[in-house]
Amino acid sequence: MKLLQSKILEVVAITFMLLAPQLSHSAIITYTDSATWSALAGSVDTEDFNDAILNTGLTATLSANGDINTTVAGHLYDDLLAGSRSTLFSFDTAITAFAGDIFDLDPGGIGAGIEVAVLFEGGGSDIITDIITANGFWGFISDTAISEVSLLDFGGARERYAVDDLVYSAQAVPEPATLALFGLGLMGIGFSKKFKKV
């Protein structure tokens, strides 16, 4: 009987260890308070858009009507058209935190907000469910490394906006779900070895 319990515990433990990476998924948390975001993001790089030269390792691909430090001085400006245009930020070194002061300049109140999509390093993507609909600070922190961030129109209407002081961080964020499942697997193996000795 004890040998059967030991084998069951061992199988459960090994299953937890093997499934840990698949069971944990990325968590992205959004923030509208810059102090809270800054406290959690750690060391950051800032792009102030005061000239057309971006930080090393940061690339911005704008729509045909977008510009840096021209339409709105000291800002990145872009004009998103109903699903056909987006602003794409690419990072040579994957990031885990992204934020900026965003000013929604939609024409005549037509736009419904800005949607944010991310591409994870190593593949996979996600659309952040919190739509940017108000002026001011907006950012997110992810527990999975991100190589690209896209700003898209939301709701199929034209959306104009400007960004100032884009901040981002490549600081690693631990994945607690994976660590917890791995720990449970190790504990299960330990208990199974204890039962075998008895």
Q: What is the pLDDT of residues 132-179, one digit of tens each?
A: 877 899 999 999 999 999 988 776 677 788 899 999 998 655 544 555
Under a CB-based contact definition with an 8 Å cutoff, are residues 166 and 101 in contact? no
Half-sphere exposure in the Cβ direction for 164 (13 Å, CA)? 14
CATH code for the domain defined by 26-173: 2.60.120.430
Ordered by start, the domain boundaries in the chain are 1-24+175-198, 26-173
The first and second tokens of residue 106, run together, are: 């939609």
In the numeric block, the tokens 């499942």 are attached to 181
Element (H, E) at 181: helix 176-197
The first and second tokens of residue 108, run together, are: 């005549």
Q: Alpha carbon of 19 to those of 10, 37, 182: distances in Å?
A: 14, 31, 9
The span from the CA of 198 to the CA of 194, in Å, is 7
Note the pLDDT tens digit of each residue in 64-107. 778 898 878 889 988 876 556 789 999 999 999 999 998 866 55
The span from the CA of 80 to the CA of 181, in Å, is 42
How far apart, in Å, do the first and last CA atoms of the chain sit?
12
The span from the CA of 38 to the CA of 163, in Å, is 17
Neighbours of 34 (CB within 10 A): 18
The span from the CA of 132 to the CA of 138, in Å, is 7
Does residue 119 carry a pLDDT above 70?
yes
Element (H, E) at 184: helix 176-197
